[in-house]
Structure 1
């Protein structure tokens, strides 16, 4: 793989993290999300044996527009970048690191994800039963770490069980992308010191 191709694949996976974070922010404040982005992010959880990085996100960058735009605004240090979205994204990367050091939990997640995949074939990827199953998986595994992501938003929205389940499912989607980013060579210091490289890669992705 050429270095420019690797940069693009890393940027796309990182955009997956930022898309999940942006959707959590949208949902917790407005009670609704961009459906196309939501379907792409949730679909990435079930895509466990992809042919390519792009295949994780449905084979097209269309459903990743929110994540690409959000990550671009972060690397370009645009003033309207939400501090909440950034905090969620950094927290997701931290939890992925914790998960990577727990092979037993990774194995348990892998087994449960097979059940989720079967269920998603019977229903649809974003059916409430599938979302509830992913949310339950997140609660039984990632939520048991001492570090937990505190989601801020409208209490009335977050109190609704269906919204709370969507938030957990989206955080899980973010961690799936964070694992992919790390597998592709992504590292936190690259995020902080390699902003120009990420920005160039995102520009190239957006042109295709």
Structure 2
């Protein structure tokens, strides 16, 4: 059965939107909803899954992202310019990453270590987040242009918050890869905007 369906593309897009929203919240307010963050970080550690939704622990895991996606597509409540910029840069950087086999191997090895850590400490333990942050810093962060996160200096100077932000950006890369695997392209966003909006609305009724 193909995974290249509009529903799966919408779920993956919600994963991107969720990661970007949580990054923005951490950078500007120093905190974000723990359940949404657990689902986003968990998607990084889900190596094998029976479905796209299960990557996030079920559709409920991307409720926050679906809400963000629907609002943006409906133009009723625009996502912040920063969130939109993060999403666009994640899509661009994931494409650059796709051509770097050694970097991909290093990321996979690091995530495998983080997965083992999470089984011992828990998904949101500081050691797991620090490991994922280091993976992002030593790989994605070396690609140009780097994602420059905007926010309050008091939060961006806090290493624990920075680790969460970097881990979430890595989760955003994971969702972007998943979106492409589901057949997502920039043309999908241009030509299927209303269909994606309707699908996001429908999926929210399933959470």
Partner SS for 1:148: coil
**Cα distance between partner residues in 1 of 2:98 and 2:46:** 19
Map Cα deviations across residues 79-134 of structure 1 (whole Å, 9 max, x no partner): 43211111111111111111112122111111121111111111000100000000
| Structure 1: tracts of 5 or more residues without a match | none
**Cα distance between partner residues in 2 of 1:83 and 1:154:** 16
| Match 2:183 to one of 182, 185, 188 | 185
Partner SS for 1:64: helix
CA contact (8 A) 2:71 2:79 kept: yes
**Cα distance between partner residues in 1 of 2:203 and 2:109:** 33
CA contact (8 A) 1:76 1:195 kept: no
**Cα distance between partner residues in 2 of 1:14 and 1:134:** 21
CA contact (8 A) 1:8 1:204 kept: no
TM-score by structure 1 length?
0.95
CA shift for structure 1 position 204: 1.9
CA contact (8 A) 1:19 1:67 kept: yes
Partner SS for 1:85: helix
CA shift for structure 1 position 77: 2.0
Matched, 1:154 2:157: no
Which residue of the partner structure matches residue 45 of structure 1? Answer: 44
TM-score by structure 2 length?
0.95
Map Cα deviations across residues 42-73 of structure 1 (whole Å, 9 max, x no partner): 00000011111011001x22231110011111
* Number of residue equivalences: 206
| Structure 2: tracts of 5 or more residues without a match | none
